[in-house]
Structure 1
Amino acid sequence: MKKLYFIIGSQDLYGAETLIQAEKDGREMAEYLCGELGDIAAVEAMPVVKTAAEAEDICIRASADKECIGVIMWMHTFSPAKMWIRALQALSKPMLHLHTQYNERLPYDSIDMDFMNLNQSAHGDREFGFICTRLGIKREVAAGYYKNPDLIEKLRRFAYAAEGVSFGRTMRVAMFGNNMRDVAVTDGDRVESEIKYGWNVNYYGIGDLCDIADGVSETDIDGKMAEYSEKYDMGTDDLAAVREQAKYEIALERFLDKENISAFTDTFQDLHGLKQLPGLAVQNIMAKGTGFGPEGDYKTAALCAVLCRMAQGRQGATGFMEDYTYDLAAGEEKELAAHMLEVSPVFAANKPEIQVHPLGIGGKADPARLVFDGIEGEGIAVSMIDMGDRFRLVCADITLIKQPEPMPKLPVARLMWTLKPDFATCAAAWIYAGGAHHAVVSTALDAEDIRLFAKMTDTELVIINDKTDLNSFEQQLELLEIKARLKK
C-alpha cells in the first residue's frame, strides 16, 4: 500500500504534556486525512519531531521507504528551522507543507497561554517555510483548516501527482525499433530521462515481438476475439486481419508482462516480420492504462503512462493523441486530432467499431483498427520536449467538441477540439514553446495537476489558457532561456 508520511514538527522546549497532546492531535488528523486520501495512499502519522536528529532520521526513512510516495509536513508548535536543514537536504520525496491547525475555531472564552503554546502553526509554519525557501526546496503549500473540502481536494491532487512521480521512478519503457528517421521533436536523451524521472528506456528489436507472436495459439486468439466482440462492434468481414491484431495484442501483453514494461513505442519504418502495423492491438492495450507513443516517441509514451497513473480513479479519459488538421472557418476554428491507427477507445463517444482499411504507408497489409467519434468536455493537451539542456512541458487548455459533420471516408478514430483563448493565440504559443505534434490529452486531469508534476520533478512548464497573451508568453520563454543558461 502506498503511503504519505504525516510529519509533525515541534521542539523539546514545551514539556511532556504539550508534546503528548501534539502527538495525539497529529494522529487524529492523520487518521482523518487517511479516510479522505486512503484510496490513493494511506496517511501515516510519524512521532512528533523535537530535535535535528529526529528530523533527519524521519526524512531519511521517508526517502528510503519504497512505499512512501511523499510527505506532509505540519508544524503544530514553533519548531526552530535550523534543526530541519540536514533533514530537508536528505529528503528526496515530494513534499506538501500543510499550513493548518488542529482546531478550526478559537476558543474565545477559554484561550490562554497553554493553548497558544500548543497551537502555534501560524508562526511555526512560517519559520519552517523560510528554511525551505532558503534551501530552495521545491514543495507545495496548502493553507486552511485540514477538514475543509477545498483543502482536501488540494491534498488529493498532491497525492495523485506524487503517485505519478513515484510510479515513474521505477518505470520501464520499450522502444520497438528506434525514433522515426529524420524526425526531431520525438527524439530525446534517454539517459537524462532516467536520471531526472527514473524512466528506464531501452530499445528492443521488433523480432523480439515477432518471436512471441509466432507462439500464440489459435485458442488464445479465439479468447481475444471474444473480448473484442464484447467490447466493440464488428464492422468488417475480414476476420483474418482482426485475428492478426489479436495475435499482436497477446504477444505485446506477454512481452510487457515479462519485461515489466509500462509504456512502449513502435514505428511503421521497422515492421520486419509483422504483416500489419499494430493498430487495434495497441488501442485495446492503451485503454488498460499502458502508455504508448508512435514513431519511436518514448517521451510521449512515458508521459502517457504517468498521467494515466495520476488519473486513476478520476472521472475522464487520458491517452496519446496527435494534432492532425484544422477547420479554419474564421472565428470557428477547430482542430481534428487523430493518428494513423492508434487512438485509445477511452475517448470514444460511441461504441467503437472494428474496421479494416488500407493504411497507405509502411508497405504492409491492411490493418484492423477501432473507428469512433470522440467525447466532449474540458481537457488539456500536454507535450514533453527535449530542449537539449532541459525538458519542457507544454500544457494547453482545450475544449473537446462534438464532430460537427459525419466523416464517412475517414477510417480512423478522431477527436475534435477548440483552443484557448483562441485558435491563433494558442497555436502560435504552442509553436513558440516548441510543443510537439504528439501530446497526451486528458479530460480527467487539468493544468493544476501538470503544475504539481512539473514542480515535483523540477521540470520547466509553460501553460496556455484563456488568459494567455502572446507578448507576455514570449517574454516568459525568453526568461526561461536566460534561467537555463545561468544554471549552466
Structure 2
Amino acid sequence: MTDTLPRVGILGIMQPLYDDMIPGITEHQAAYARRVAESLDGVAECVTGAPVRGRDDAERVVREFEDADLDGVLVVMLTYGPSLRVTRVFHELRLPVCLANIQPDPAVTPEWDMDDMTYNQGIHGAQDTANAMVRAGVPFEVITEEWPSEVFRQRVGRWARGARAATAWKRLRVGVFGYAMNGMGDARFDETALMRALGPEVVAIAPGALRRTMDELPTSEVSALMRWEDERFEVDGRLSEKEREDHARMQLGIERLLTEHGCRAYSTHFDAIGEDGRFDRLPMAAASSLMAKGYGFAGEGDVLAAAMVHAGHQLAGDGHFTEMYAMDYPSDSLLMSHMGEGNWRVARDDEPVRLIKRPLAIGNLDDPPTLLFRIKPGRATLASLVALGGERFRMVVAEGEVLDSQRLPALEMPYGQFRPDSGIRGCMDAWLRNGGTHHIVMNLGSLAADWRVFCELTGIEFVQV
C-alpha cells in the first residue's frame, strides 16, 4: 500500500492586479510552481493546478484535486493573493492542507527590480491566507524554507505522508470478526464519535462468513500460497499438510472478506474464533502476512489499534502490531511482543523468518502455525491512540532503539527489546499518566515528527513521552 508516493495537488495563488504592470506574470509564476513540483520528485507525486487568480479559479482547481483522489493540497503563494478569494474553498476543503511559505529567490539582492519584488512577495499573501484558515478552523501544516533545499523536500515529504494517512483514515473501514475482548477497557470507544472525528468506520463480520469463505476457496489458491511460503520462510517440518492448508485457507478467506467489505484493516479475537465451534485454530500467521501486505491489524477486536497500524503503513510503511510485554531494568528496555501476530517485514535481515508449529492454549483450539522472528535492531517508534471520550483523542508516542538483544528460545512469537530515549522509568511514567494503551503500532525509524504532523492534520492531541 505504501510502495507508491503520496499524491498532492499544488494550489498556486496570485491575482490579476499585476498583469498590466508585468505582462506574462501569470505564465512566469506558473513555471515557478512547476519547478517547485519538479523539485519534489521522489517524495510526492505532484499535480500542479492552473494559477488561482480568483474565487472561481480556486473552486475549480480544488474540485479537480478532490475528483482526482489526491492525498492533500500544498498551497504556494505565487504573488500576494487576497484571502477572501479562497476563504470558502478552505472552509469546505476535504483534503489536508500545507502552506508552503516559500518564494522563487532565496535572497534579496541589490539587482532586484520591481518585477523581482512582485515575484517574491508571497510572504504577506501567506499571512493573509493562513489567517483565513485559522478563522475557518482548518488544521494545516506550515513550512517556511528555501524550496530548492533538501530540508524542504524532507518536510514536504513528511507532511505528504501524514496527509496520505489522514486522508486514508477518512475512508477507512475496519472489519471486526466476532466481537471485542470482554473487559478490555482501553480499546473501548464511541464508534460514531470515531467516525465523525477521524473517519474510520467499524464493520462487523460474522465468523460464520469466514468459515463459508474458507470452504469455498479453490485448492489452487491454497496451494499457491503454501508454495510461496515455502520460498519465503523457513518452514517447520513438524507442520502437517492439514495444519498448513487450514492456515492458508484462513488467510485467504480473511483477505477475501476484507476485500468484499472494503476493509483495509481488521481485528480478530481469540474467544470469538474459539467459541464459534467451526474453527480448528487461530489465524496467527494470517495476521502477520496480511500486515506485511499492508492491512492494519490488531488483536482482541481492538479497532483503535488496527486503525493505528493502518496509519503506520500509510505514514512510514510496515506498521507492526505489538505490545509492551515486560520491563527489563538491566538493559533499560521493554520486551515487545504479542500472542503471535507481527509484521514480518520488520524482522532482522540476518535471520530467517520461521513458520513454526506452535502450541497455544489460548482459544482452546489446535496449534496455530505462527511466524516467528526477532525485530530488526535500530531506531524505532511506538504510537498509541487513546480515546478520551466524545470526539477527543490523544496519541502517545515514544522514540527509541530496538536493541541487538538476547535470544529468548522459549518465546514462540515475534519479539524484540525496545529502549525508549527517555528510559523505561521516564517513558512508562509519562505513558501511563497520558493513558497510553497496551496495544501499540511500532514502526522502524524515528517518526515522532511524522506522527505529530498526522495529529495536527486530524485534530488529535499529540504527546511524546
Scaled by the length of structure 2, the TM-score of the pair is 0.92
Q: 2:256 aligns with which of 254, 257, 265?
A: 254
**Cα gap change, 1:164/1:19 in structure 2, threshold over 3 Å: closer, same or farther?**
farther
Contact 2:33 / 2:76 at 8 angstroms: preserved in 1? no
Distance 1:59 1:32 in 2: 19
- Relative to structure 2, which stretch is displaced further, 133-142 or 52-61? 52-61
Q: 1:19 to 1:119 in 2, by over 3 A?
A: farther
Displacement after TM superposition at 1:113 (Å): 2.2
1:64-75 equivalence runs, <5 A = 64-75=66-77
Q: CA distance change for structure 1 residues 282 and 19 in 2, over 3 Å: closer, same or farther? A: farther
Tell me the residue number matched to 2:50. Answer: 46
Q: 2:18 is paired with a residue of what secondary structure?
A: coil
Cα 1:66–1:33 change in 2 (3 A) is closer
Shift, 1:115, TM fit: 2.4
Establish whether residue 15 from structure 1 lines up as the match of residue 19 from structure 2: yes
Aligned residue for 1:202, secondary structure, equals strand
Q: 1:99 to 1:327 in 2, by over 3 A?
A: same
The amino acid across from 1:424 in the alignment is R
Q: Distance in 2 between the 1:422 and 1:249 partners? A: 38
Amino acid in the other structure paired with 1:257: T
Q: Distance in 2 between matches of 1:342 and 1:78?
A: 53
Match of 1:172 in 2: 173
Whole-Å separation in 2 of the counterparts to 1:126 and 1:120:
11
Corresponding residue to 2:34 among 30, 47, 52:
30
1:475 corresponds to: none
Note if contact 2:98-2:141 (Cα within 8 Å) is conserved in structure 1.
yes
4+ long deviations beyond 6 Å: none
Q: Helix, strand or coil: the match of 1:362?
A: coil
Residues 232 and 202 of structure 1: CA distance in aligned 2, closer, same or farther (over 3 Å): same
One-letter amino acid of the structure 2 residue matched with residue 422 of structure 1: G
Instruction: Rate the CA distance shift 1:13–1:40 in 2: closer, same or farther, 3 A.
Output: closer
How far off is 1:11 after superposition?
Answer: 2.4
Aligned to 1:343: 342
Question: How far apart, in 1, do the equivalents of 2:389 and 2:171 lie?
Answer: 24
Q: Distance in 2 between matches of 1:401 and 1:235?
A: 27
Partner of 2:299: 294
Q: CA-to-partner distance for each residue in 1:124-158, whole Å, 9 max, x for gaps?
A: 32233333334443211111221111011111111
Q: Deviations over 1:141-187 (max 9, x none)?
A: 11122111101111111111111122222222110011101111112
Distance 1:56 1:263 in 2: 33
Q: Which residue of 2 aligns with 1:282?
A: 287
Aligned ranges for residues 76-155 of structure 1 at < 5 Å?
76-109=78-111, 111-155=112-156
Residues 260/136 of structure 1: CA separation in 2 closer, same or farther (3 Å cut):
closer
Contact 1:99–1:144 at 8 Å: present in 2 too? yes
* C-alpha distance in 1 between matches for 2:206 and 2:435: 30
Amino acid at match of 1:300: A
SS of residue in 2 equivalent to 1:18: coil
**For the Cα contact (< 8 Å) 2:96–2:167, is it kept in 1?**
no
- Partner deviation per Cα, 1:348-378 (whole Å, 9 max, x = no partner): 1121111112212111111110112221111
Q: Distance in 1 between matches of 2:264 and 2:358?
A: 29
CA distance in 1: counterparts of 2:118 and 2:32, whole angstroms: 19
**Residue in 2 that maps onto 1:225:** 226
Q: Deviations over 1:81-139 (max 9, x none)?
A: 33333232222321111111112344423x22232233212333223333333444321
2:321 pairs with 1:320: yes
The residue matched to 1:237 in structure 2 has which SS?
coil
Q: Measure, in 1, the Cα distance between the counterparts of 2:430 and 2:440.
A: 15
Match of 1:307, SS state, is: helix
In the TM superposition, what is the alpha-carbon distance from 1:56 to its structure 2 partner?
A: 4.5
* Cα distance change of structure 1 residues 460 and 78 upon mapping to structure 2, 3 Å threshold: same
Tell me, which stretches of 5 or more residues in structure 1 are unaligned?
465-488
Cross-structure match for 1:473: none
Superposed CA offset, 1:169-228 (max 9, x none): 222211001110111111222222222222121111111101111123443322211111
- Residue equivalent to 1:206: 207
The residue aligned with 2:437 is 436
The one-letter amino acid paired with 1:254 is: R
Instruction: Identify the structure with bigger relative contact order (alpha carbons < 8 Å, sequence gap 6+).
Output: 2
1:50 partner letter:
R
Distance 2:414 2:6 in 1: 36
Contact 2:291 2:319 (C-alpha < 8 Å) held by counterparts: no
Secondary structure of the equivalent of 1:214? helix
Asked whether the 8 Å contact 1:34–1:43 carries over to 2, the reply is: no
State the partner residue of 2:196.
195
**Cα distance, 1:300 vs structure 2:** 0.9
Give the aligned partner of residue 375 of structure 1. Answer: 376
- Secondary structure at the aligned position of 1:387 is classed as strand
Could you tell me which residue of structure 1 aligns to residue 396 of structure 2?
394
Q: How many residue pairs end up in the alignment?
A: 454
Q: Tell me which amino acid in the other structure corresponds to 1:383.
A: S
Q: 1:19 to 1:133 in 2, by over 3 A?
A: farther
> For the structure 1 residues 244 and 71, does the alpha-carbon distance in structure 2 shift closer, same or farther, using more than 3 Å as the test?
same
Q: Name 1:484's counterpart in structure 2.
A: none
Per-residue CA deviations over 1:375-429 (Å, capped at 9, x if unaligned) read 111111010121112121111112111122x212111111211122111110010
Corresponding residue number in structure 2 for 1:156: 157
Task: Give the residue type in structure 2 aligned to 1:285.
Answer: L
Residues in 2 aligned to 1:56 and 1:343: alpha-carbon distance in whole angstroms: 44
Q: Distance in 1 between matches of 2:26 and 2:144?
A: 19
Change (3 A) 1:60 1:33: closer
- Structure 2 CA distance for aligned equivalents of residues 254 and 84 of structure 1: 43
Name stretches of at least 5 consecutive residues in structure 2 with no aligned partner. Answer: none
- Quote the Cα distance in structure 1 between the aligned partners of 2:38 and 2:172: 26
Q: Report SS of the residue matched to 1:455.
A: helix
CA distance in 1, matches of 2:57, 2:411: 64
Distance in 2 between residues matched to 1:114 and 1:29, nearest whole Å: 17
Q: Give the Cα separation in 1 of the matches to 2:199 and 2:137.
A: 22
Q: 1 CA distance for matches of 2:443 and 2:6? A: 24
Report if aligned partners of 1:385, 1:393 keep a CA contact under 8 Å in 2. Answer: yes
Q: Which residue of 2 is the match for residue 333 of structure 1?
A: 332
**Against the structure 1 CA distance between its residues 433 and 269, is the aligned structure 2 distance closer, same or farther, given a 3 Å change threshold?**
same
